[in-house]
Chains A and B, each alone.
Chain A
Amino acid sequence: MTETPLLQATALTRMYGKRVGCRDVSFDLWPGEVLGVVGESGSGKTTLLNCLSAQLEPSGGEILYTRRDGRQVDIFALSEGERRLLLRTEWGLVRQNPRDGLRMAVSAGANVGERLMAVGARHYGDIRGQARHWLTELEIDAERIDDLPRNFSGGMQQRLQIARNLVTSPRLVFMDEPTGGLDVSVQARLLDLIRRLTRDLGLACIIVTHDLGVVRMLSHRLLVMRGGEVVEAGLTDQVLDDPQHPYSQMLVSSILPV
């Protein structure tokens, strides 16, 4: 494994005028590691994710990323072109609502193939073969390669969105509430799938969610956020079984027993 962390955030701060989006967040993410970010609505989870995934420029702090070629780069010191290329090749972004992450007007195959074409693939047969492979990998019937995403169920749309991101073999995937809006059985299958994929592909992943069940199942480490700040960080089991901060304790105890 490499010596440097894959992603290194230092004193990351984002202000909305006088209001705090997130403040003074620091952590290291190592290759193959899954990091969960939990907290209530408005706690700054999504702001943090948007900053990390270069969608939103932070007001302070820095984010260092180690590229495939081993060079560590400051995300916001890169030119916009390089940053966007990174986003298309080495990173993936799975949005809460698949409609935001998919092209709803073109077929599933084109959705999966888009990133390949964006990095220069010009052979129709190859693109289609890859699309078929990733649809099967995400448990979508390859027969449906020419169907429009709008004719897919919510769970399938979410899996299609993941397939679309994985096709360029990214090393780091950001997920914003990947299971939000799905019913419980579909959620469980999707979680199984994400866990298998992150393990098999050695993906590093940052998952933002308010659902403690999701992070218990997927993530190795956990950040608990409140009011824009990280109040507790540690191994997932440790934080969930023995929360130290009063807010984490409240969060853990508010899970409804089944």
Chain B
Amino acid sequence: MNAPTSAKSLAMPAETKSAETKPAEAKPRQEAGYNYAYLDEQTKRSIRRALLKAVAIPGYQVPFGSREMPMPYGWGTGGVQVTASVLGPDDTLKVIDQGADDTTNAVSIRRFFAKTAGVKTTTRTEEASVIQTRHRIPETPLKAGQIVVFQVPIPEPLRWLEASEAETRKMHALEEYGVMHVKLYEDVARFGRISVAYDYPVKVDGRYIMRPSPIPKFDNPKLDRSPALMLFGAGREQRIYAVPPYTEVRSLDFEDHPFEVESWPRCCALCGAKDSFLDEIIVDDQGGRQFVCSDTDYCEARRAAGHRGPA
């Protein structure tokens, strides 16, 4: 696709590196020798077809021909393939892992697309047009036109109760979802409340039960009628599903034990936010600990705006 390979372009030019640390300025150059965004065009087309079907039937798991990616299963092979298929040259990519932009997984996937697609990357939620995520939805409200790509380990919400794929497909087709509540019943009977903390099952558009990938249930309300397009990719299980913009997403619950998100008795130690998902981290050898925002971009933006926490 690009100019012929030269030794210079193979040896990782400096601008790629700077693009990664400095948000969204110079556009990095695409590495020669790879097709645009790593995957071949036919594969991307087939994934886009699966995506169209997924968007047309919200919450329905569409099988797709998942490819081997240059990363292990469980690191986001599904998400990476979806991102590769939707990423255009003018897009700006943000990648987060557990809310953070600077963890290994996030850094390597961001660098991967900077190299193979030459797209701009950023850590700022509002600047990104495509956000690939593992385990979180950014705290900053999403806008129309943004695409969130989720990495999904196990797409089938009924797997816990039914081991057979043929049977779970039949259950989805016939809308036989009573068993989902058996799991919730069991939780209430045992712990007095629904104890599912992440990957909390939801019903999409009043029809399909869906696993929202292992995001904390704190993020479930952000799925409901979100202006952004949500795409889910499971590489090992070879499934793609989607929640189109402004689609109703309801978390399952009982009338007398309604769905609730977690809350914390304190605010973020760094930026003082009371409305974000907090991680508890150990800060020294004496067992000292702090609660800080799991969304690093949100926390940094707040501190830049002059907010300060107790620490």
Contacts and interface: CB of A to CB of B under 8 A. Distances in A.
Contacts, number: 55
A75 B206 CA distance: 29
Interface string A174-200: 000000000000000000000000000
A114 B181 CA distance: 8
A124 B186 contact: no
Nearest to A113: B185
Given A122-B255, A123-B254, A114 B176 contact: no
Given A124-B188, A146-B189, A84 B256 contact: no
A124 B254 CA distance: 6
A117 B178 contact: yes
Q: How large is the interface on A (under 10, 10 to 19, 20 to 34, 35 or more residues)?
A: 20 to 34
Contacts of B254: 122-124
Contacts of A84: 174, 176
B189 A110 contact: yes
Interface string B247-258: 000000111110
Contacts of A56: none
A107 B186 contact: yes
B177 to A, nearest CB: 8
A106 to B, nearest CB: 5
Q: How large is the interface on B (under 10, 10 to 19, 20 to 34, 35 or more residues)?
A: 10 to 19
A103 B174 contact: no
B57 to A, nearest CB: 18
Contact of A106 (B170, B178, B186, B255): B186
B191 to A, nearest CB: 11
Given A113-B182, A146-B190, 12 more contacts: A81-B174, A84-B176, A106-B182, A106-B183, A114-B179, A114-B182, A117-B182, A119-B178, A122-B254, A123-B255, A124-B256, A127-B185
Interface of A: 80-81, 84, 103, 106-107, 109-110, 113-115, 117-120, 122-125, 127-128, 145-146
Q: Lowest 5 A-B CB distances belong to which pairs?
A: A118-B178, A117-B181, A124-B254, A117-B178, A81-B174
Interface of B: 161, 170, 174, 176, 178-179, 181-183, 185-186, 188-190, 253-257
